[in-house]
Structure 1
Amino acid sequence: MKKHQNGLKKYIVAEKYADMLVEDYLKSVMKVSGRTRQRLFRSKNVFVNGSPVHTKRKLKGNDLVAIRIFPDETYGVKPQIGPVEVLYEDEAVIVLNKPANMLVHPTGQTDSFTLANYLAGYFQAKGQIVTIRPIHRLDRDTSGCVLFAKKPEYQTKLEAQLKANTIHRIYKALVVGVGIEKEFPDGCIDRNIGRVPGQPNRRRVDDRGKRAVTHFKISEVIGPNTLLELWLETGRTHQIRVHMNYAGYPVLGDKMYGTPSRLINRQALHASEIHFLHPLTGAKVEVRAPLPKDMENCISKLRSFFI
């Protein structure tokens, strides 16, 4: 049983958790991240029955465990004003529609002009300090839904869903070629993906790599191209692009795993939907991002040529 009061998050310990260490209780039951647990214990903000405790305190049934709820103090990135299209927002999460040609968050030498920077600017303009916590990533030139958590406890719960494959991500992709359903009649590509030696940003199908499973169904055949709906059972780097190239149906316009196209200036790949369980209420949330203009225009041109 849990409740919030006076800036504290409180749980009454069930009998089945008797003799559990308080640190393990915070991790397994209260879903507190490792970094937050360290901060809580260092600042003596973990309480059992009203008294501060250390990590190895054993619990008893009906003990009252409480932790201090810290407000965010920084955005984690430099706030900047830029394009922010909110698809869904409430007190726990926010889902943005990322445009193509934009990183989700700063990496390497890039610390500006990312979706994370613009989201920080969005919160700053509203007078809110919220640390930017992306739950998953999209490639720079892939558009669509990106989910962020507003508090560390919500981040922990959503990351657990991601690890358990219960966050469903659905994509639209325009690929080169027709007939993929004949080669993969079950609509599934199950091939391990690993790094390409000497090319740290590139991936390939490799039996020694990590398991990767991509499901697909055909939405439309347009001349020599196929519009696919895809959903991921795993979330490997460049997974859809690598699997489509391996299958012989590269994503149209993919400059790394296919060939450039005059019809679109990036890979024609869009994260069209994300489904997850709300970290606060447990209710199912389904968010959709409309197909971007460049993909709409590309599909329209192909239809005009071949239909």
Structure 2
Amino acid sequence: MAKSLLYLSKAFLLLLFQLLVIQSASFTNARGSPQFSKSLKDLEGSQKGQRVQGIHEVKHYLNKFGYLNYEDSNNVKLHVEHDDEFDEAFELALKTYQKYYHLKVTGKLDSDTIKQMALPRCGVADVINGNLEHEHPQYAFFGNQIKWPSSKRHLTYAFESSAQVDISLEELRSTCESAFKKWSEVSDFTFEETDQKLNADLVIGFHRLDHGDGNSFDGPSGVLAHAFVPTNGRLHFDADEDWSTSLNLTQSETDLVSVATHEIGHLLGLAHSQFEDAIMYAYFASGVTKRDLNQDDIEGIRALYANE
């Protein structure tokens, strides 16, 4: 009898574990871009005072990218992850997002806002702690103008990935060399590859989903890559993207050179620009290349490291 009960207990625990794994996987998949884009379309026209299934997904989006923070709530996670109420805080966050991206400020989930949110983008937040950190109408710095010390203008970089992709190491090396050159030509920075990963100033690689840095990727499309502010030095590309280094991209491919150039801007201390033509603009359309620095990017990096 005791053995039977023990067997049943183990079987129940195994079943429970399997259900939790399935639930976790479903939750992760729900954050992937294709599903998110579909749910966005279903939310078009939503406005304050309504409770619409799927609003919590947009709350998660706005929270992730710096626009929504329920600081006065006893349960932030409940509001962001599960609550489908279109409340006042959500409306305010939506208006801030619309203003940031030069959209009509309606406070509603209108078609233009949904179209913008559905685009692939960088995973670095636009806003720091809910406040716009702009020192200029377009380019921006992170809070307290985080940057490399004046004694550090020669940066070494190494490659380390936890996931395999169709991009070879040689292609990645060539991509980064080209992207670093664009920044070195307009600043005092120089860059050099090293095989000493532990001592490198910058570490670059491909990773998939939860890769241990607290910023999980979301599968194909959605978030393309992210980088950390000085002097952290990590740059991660989402391994689930359809990456290419060709100038002749297909409609589904994302240009690795364009995204690498953008992310290096973050490594140097630049935040996102509101100017769509800038390399530091957060969004990247598939099938399009944008590899050159804009004057806004050049002014930004020079302003950040001026007077040194």
After TM superposition, is the score higher than 0.5? Answer: no
**Bigger Rg, structure 1 or 2:** 1
Which has the bigger relative contact order, CA under 8 A and spacing at least 6? 2
TM-score normalised according to structure 2 size: 0.29
